[in-house]
Amino acid sequence: MAGHTDNEILVNAPMELVWEHTNDVAGWPELFTEYASAEILDRDGGSVTFRLTTHPDADGKVWSWVSRRVPDPATRTVRAHRLETGPFEYMNLRWEYHQEASGVLMRWVQDFAMKPTSPIPEAAMLDRLNRTTVEQMAHVKQVLERRARGGADHGPGDLHAQRLLYLTCGPRLAAVVTTLAELGIVDLVADEPRTAAELAETAQADPDALYRLLRCAASVGILAERPDGRFASTPLAEGMRADRPYSLLPLVLHSAQPYVTGPYSALTHSIRTGEPATVPALGSDIWRYFEEHPEAGARFDHTMTALGQWETDRHLDIVRPERFRRIADIGGGRGHFLAAALRRAPDASGVLFERPDVVAGADEVLVEQGVAGRVTKVAGDFFADPIPDGCDAYVLKAVLHNWPDERAERLLASVRRAIGDRDARLFVVEQVVSEGNRWDHAKFLDLDMLVLFGGRERRLDEWRGLFGRCGFELPGRPGEGHWTVLECRPTSVDAPRRAADDALPAAAPSGPARPATPAAPAVAGAPTRPEGPA
């Protein structure tokens, strides 16, 4: 029989402190109450072989054994096993460290088996290991949090302040990541580590300056500097490889563009006024900027196209388009999502509603996907023109977050009028912002909407309120923390709603309105509605 324990605890201290102090085996007697001594026997690179000796237990017995421990800083994991197994047939351990919003989640896993000759039954050992692990974790947490607060006795300065400094250096780190992307460094070290001089020759860079860049990148885990001076890739760097299907490379390059960095430099303006920062930073709203700078607009569309491909299959698994006979994609770009839906529903037809300049370019996509004969293209402005009726499914994919509530209500009310008395469905593909202090990328994307567009991401209660005011209900509870599908049902047309026909003027509240559905950039990392492959 084999035994298994799995315990975790949240330590309110910086990752570097938790990692460094829990992997300093020589200092374990000050960190754990059960160890009287820790003797380092051998070091080989990052791995360490050591002997632990315990304080006498309740029976006066002292335990001692030799273990080997191999930390991996790139993945924040540690593997260890006993070399002197004592009563165990084997004892293997794995430690994991996960960064959370309020600290480091530390997880310890132990897998073991007892020797047939062991005086301790497996069940008793399992109970003992679980009990002592919980006790030791609580003590380690207490010690590390005290050290983090004290700081000066265990490192240079207050380590929480160091973490704040790390966050403050965000623009510098973003510049490091962008430069690595522009030089193609991650692709150059993907197959084998290389020196700064080798990389500089290929990337046409100054060797000394490039080394300093690589050293900084390695300090935050983007690369790993080896003892021989070569730099290797890490799991963090893999996300920038150009040959990966879900590469963040387009987003990294996009996020450094002036139409993103400029408005974010005026974030305070948006916070004080509640308005986008594009006018003070760029001289116009974002859409007019793209019209006046077509290269920037093309880059934006390319990024949205690349990111928009990620989750189509998962979203269609929820939509299940095969249950509908006619599907309308409102603000559907060049038709990639609609085409994917119709491929799953060979007996269905579709309506693609978009602004004239976009829908005119949809033929290539629809023909390529083999659905052109089943799609009716309608050019229009969904704030001024009626939404096509006669459909039993309507899709708004990454549309509503571009707009404040009053504009979103106007659009939803128009869709509701198009549905009329039919038992149709509305599918809204959006983020649901999580509650509390939980990490959620939507909270960053929400600032993108504020600063660049004047829109917003919404919590579940905000979605329910928005739908309810427009004659829809949202059954069930959709997931949080990623792009999801909100399936809405029409309620009675007499249900209260604020977005009546003449409730609002057609013009946008700030600046000239884009004629139909724009895609909003995922500056912080998640895809929005693209005008390209979905």
> What pLDDT, in 10s, does the model give residues 248-281?
898 899 999 999 999 999 999 999 999 999 999 9
E strand or H helix at 378 = strand 375-379
Of 21, 67, 458, 469, the active-site residue reads: 67
Fold matches, 3-149 and 305-490: no
Average pLDDT (365-376) is 96
Would you tell me how many other CB atoms lie within 10 Å of the CB of residue 433?
Answer: 21
Judge whether residue 312 has pLDDT over 60. Answer: yes
Q: Does domain 170-256 have CATH number 1.10.10.10?
A: yes
Average pLDDT (101-111) is 92
pLDDT digit string, tens, across residues 178-213 = 999 999 999 999 999 999 999 999 999 999 999 999
Helix (H, G, I), strand (E, B) or coil at 66: strand
pLDDT band of residue 453 (cuts 50, 70, 90) is: very high
Judge whether residue 524 has pLDDT over 60. Answer: no
pLDDT digit string, tens, across residues 212-254 = 999 999 988 899 999 899 999 988 898 899 998 888 898 899 9
pLDDT band of residue 1 (cuts 50, 70, 90) is: low
pLDDT band of residue 116 (cuts 50, 70, 90) is: very high
Domain ranges (residues) in the chain: 3-149, 170-256, 260-292, 305-490
Q: For residues 362 and 365, what is the distance between their CA atoms, to the nearest angstrom?
A: 5
CB 428 within 8 A of CB 488: yes
User: What is the pairing mode between strands 88-100 and 77-82?
Assistant: antiparallel
Judge whether residue 154 has pLDDT over 50. Answer: no
pLDDT value for 326: 98
pLDDT value for 158: 54
User: How many percent of the chain have pLDDT more than 70?
Assistant: 89
Q: Does domain 3-149 have CATH number 3.90.1150.10?
A: no
Of 401, 407, 416, 441, the active-site residue reads: 401
Token code pair at residue 505: 């003027």
Counted residue by residue, the chain has a size of: 534
User: How many percent of the chain have pLDDT more than 90?
Assistant: 71
Crossing angle between the packed helical segments 159-168 and 15-22, to the nearest 10 degrees = 130
Helix residue spans in 308-355 (DSSP H): 312-319, 336-344
pLDDT digit string, tens, across residues 440-451 = 889 999 999 999
Poorest-pLDDT segment among 73-82, 179-188, 195-204, 497-506 = 497-506
pLDDT value for 207: 96
pLDDT digit string, tens, across residues 385-410 = 999 999 999 999 999 999 999 999 99
Judge whether residue 498 has pLDDT over 50. Answer: no
Average pLDDT (487-499) is 66
Average pLDDT (335-343) is 95
Is 67 marked active-site?
yes
Judge whether residue 482 has pLDDT over 60. Answer: yes
What is the residue-averaged pLDDT of the chain? 87
pLDDT value for 501: 40
Q: Does domain 305-490 have CATH number 3.20.20.80?
A: no
Q: For residues 54 and 184, what is the distance between their CA atoms, to the nearest angstrom?
A: 51
Poorest-pLDDT segment among 124-133, 151-160, 393-402, 518-527 = 518-527
User: What is the pairing mode between strands 349-354 and 375-379?
Assistant: parallel
Of 51, 81, 82, 94, the active-site residue reads: 82
pLDDT value for 160: 63
pLDDT value for 18: 93
pLDDT band of residue 162 (cuts 50, 70, 90) is: low
Write the Ramachandran bin of 224: left for phi over 0, alpha for psi from -120 to 50, otherwise beta: beta
Is 69 marked active-site?
yes
User: What global pTM score does this model have?
Assistant: 0.67
Compute the chain's Rg from CA coordinates. Answer: 28
Q: For residues 479 and 432, what is the distance between their CA atoms, to the nearest angstrom?
A: 7
